[in-house]
Amino acid sequence: MESYDFVVIGSGIAGLTFALKAAAHGRVAVITKRAPADSNTAWAQGGVACVTSTEDSFELHVRDTLVAGAGLCDEGAVRTIVSEGPARIQELLALGVQFDEREVPGGDGHTELDLGREGGHSKRRILHAHDTTGREIEMSLLRAIAATPDIVLLDNHMAVDLITAAKLGFATENRVIGVYVLNEETGEVVTIESPRVVLATGGCGKVYLYTTNPNVATGDGVAMAWRAGAVIANMEFIQFHPTCLFHPEARSFLITEALRGEGGVLRDARGRSFMEKYHPLASLAPRDIVARAIDAEMKRTGEKCVYLDVTDKPADFLKARFPNIYENCLRYGIDLTRQPIPVVPAAHYQCGGVRTDIDGATHLRGLYAVGEVASTGLHGANRLASNSLLEGLVLAHRACGRALRDEPLKANHVDARSRYQLPEWQSGQVQDVDELVVIYHNWDEIRRLMWDYVGIVRTDKRLQRAAARLRNLQAEIQEFYWNFKVTTDLLELRNLATVAALIVDSALSRRESRGLHYTLDYPETDDRFPPRPTELRRF
């Protein structure tokens, strides 16, 4: 058994930021199931929304967030995250993150941050590094991690399950006391003890057939927290990004909203703009509205995609501002400076997750959640563009302080071992290659049924069909789990099935349309009562 003062599961902006802050107080293990840079953060194109201009204000940013969240945001959480953002941005700059700058007009060569604008924002407030902002932040954080001796980075390790006092049969307060972790290179499951475990596992985009997320986004953190007894909230609100590149060889390539922020227009196959019919902000409307509008246009016309047109912008500007998108589109025969980009909506962001307070603390003592895996109240029923990286920064900072207050470290910065004796992992030893076919089939079935039945537009009948099939799939998967030696594929399948069921159950319980949850059975928003989050409790 290994022991650490802090265990962080995930290596995106939230997890790495927490690890850097916690390392000033004790030993930290960062567990990541692939290479450290394989995270949603590294794939983020647009940027970080933060008030840094005198033309902007906290009040405007708060208002834009609340409007996008369709009445379900926690205003206190919104105000905290928005107001604490600038200090966290300064910390990124101190780490060496290079955001784009521009010359100040008439400023004798002086520069200032070059701020972009995205859908739902009333001002330019998006800090960016061309169109690979997430990669710039991820690499800077990983360099800092590598230079910090009290951080152990366990890559190619996948968290299997949280270890709780109740699960081990201790007659004490139920709390998290460690985690079982699969070493993917050896196939062994190791036991790691810690009184402070932080979920920073990102979202669950791979639960859908089409997604902008990397392959690691299988909802691991939400599934583990659910099995451990944490509260899960608002999982019906899955954000579909309106503009994923429509090409048979590039199903997961995102076309950033910043293109629309710079004047890009959505058009149908005949070249007609259509967003004016759906919202006063047209192509810059919030994402839930744009995604539903595109879905409606595709169904109305029978076309397989719509088009994002930026051809009226200077070619040199587009190549300099969006070099990654320009080069990737060109690879597939699309010159965005001369022709519109074919796009479709795809699953993009999980707005719900493990229920936390504004400090990232969950209902289980010793367990914290930060970043996309957490439901803090910031996003409500629909995330405002580029608020996610901001939330990860602020919550990581606050969660570190909270963890130290909840579980004070010893004076010598080395925690005493807990009074719990954690057992070694017991695993089934059967490994039948023929059964792997069943695992892969179930994986595909879950993703397709979620796309067909639990997509942008829903009905109770479709949701009930999904729920019935998922119950059967979960029973099959559970049998594999107990009888076979665990593998990454099996663990990810188990987590996908759990998260899919949570999304469906949450959607069935919300009998209205709000934000990202739109159902034909209840097409109107129910304003008779104050809107409440959807909360699911296992026990």
136 lies in the same domain as 229: yes
Q: Residues 525-534: pLDDT tens digits?
A: 999 889 999 9
Residue 437 reports pLDDT greater than 90: no
Q: Does 164 map to a domain?
A: yes
Report the distance separating Cα 342 and Cα 321, nearest Å.
20
Of the chain, the percentage scoring pLDDT greater than 70 comes to 97
| Nearest CA-CA partner of 133 in 29, 254, 267 | 254
> Contact 355/363 with Cβ under 8 angstroms?
yes
Report the distance separating Cα 128 and Cα 134, nearest Å.
9
Q: Residues 265-324: pLDDT tens digits?
A: 999 999 999 999 999 999 999 989 999 999 999 999 999 999 999 999 999 999 999 999
Task: Tell me the pLDDT band of 431, cut-offs 50, 70 and 90.
Answer: low
232 lies in the same domain as 252: no
- How is residue 96 written in tokens? 């060496």
Residue 158 reports pLDDT greater than 60: yes
* pLDDT for position 179: 98
* pLDDT for position 304: 93
Q: Does 260 map to a domain?
A: yes
Which range has the worst mean pLDDT, 77-91, 250-264, 411-425, 468-482?
Answer: 411-425
143 lies in the same domain as 173: yes
Q: Does 67 map to a domain?
A: no
* pLDDT for position 170: 81
Residue 412 reports pLDDT greater than 50: no
Instruction: For tokens 């390790």, name the residue.
Output: 157
* pLDDT for position 426: 83
Task: Tell me the pLDDT band of 497, cut-offs 50, 70 and 90.
Answer: very high
136 lies in the same domain as 225: yes
Q: Does 107 map to a domain?
A: no
Q: Does 419 map to a domain?
A: no
Which of 369, 388, 406 is the last residue before a domain boundary?
406
Residue 147 reports pLDDT greater than 70: yes
Residue 168 reports pLDDT greater than 70: yes
362 lies in the same domain as 328: no
Task: Tell me the pLDDT band of 416, cut-offs 50, 70 and 90.
Answer: very low
221 lies in the same domain as 136: yes
Residue 420 reports pLDDT greater than 80: no
> Contact 216/495 with Cβ under 8 angstroms?
no
Q: Does 55 map to a domain?
A: no
Burial class (CB in 10 A: 0-12, 13-18, 19+), 273: middle
Catalytic residue among 125, 175, 287, 321: 287
User: How many domains is the chain built from?
Assistant: 3
Q: Does 100 map to a domain?
A: no
**DSSP string computed for 460-477:** HHHHHHHHHHHHHHHHHH
287 given a catalytic annotation: yes
Instruction: For tokens 């909270």, name the residue.
Output: 402
Residue 413 reports pLDDT greater than 60: no
Which of 330, 346, 362 is the last residue before a domain boundary?
346
**pTM, 2 dp:** 0.95
| Cβ neighbours of residue 83 closer than 8 Å, sequence gap 6 or more | 58
Task: Tell me the pLDDT band of 458, cut-offs 50, 70 and 90.
Answer: very high
Report the distance separating Cα 17 and Cα 15, nearest Å.
6
491 lies in the same domain as 507: yes
> Contact 94/86 with Cβ under 8 angstroms?
no
15 lies in the same domain as 137: yes
Which of 324, 346, 368 is the last residue before a domain boundary?
346
Give the domain CATH number at 516: 1.20.58.100
Residue-averaged pLDDT of the chain: 94
Give the domain CATH number at 187: 3.50.50.60
State which residues form the domain around 274.
243-346
Q: Considering only CA atoms, give the Rg of the chain.
A: 23
Q: Does 252 map to a domain?
A: yes
Give the domain CATH number at 249: 3.90.700.10
Cα–Cα distances (Å) from 124 to 50, 309, 539, in that order, read 9, 21, 45
Angle between helices 387-406 and 75-95 (to 10 degrees): 90
261 lies in the same domain as 339: yes
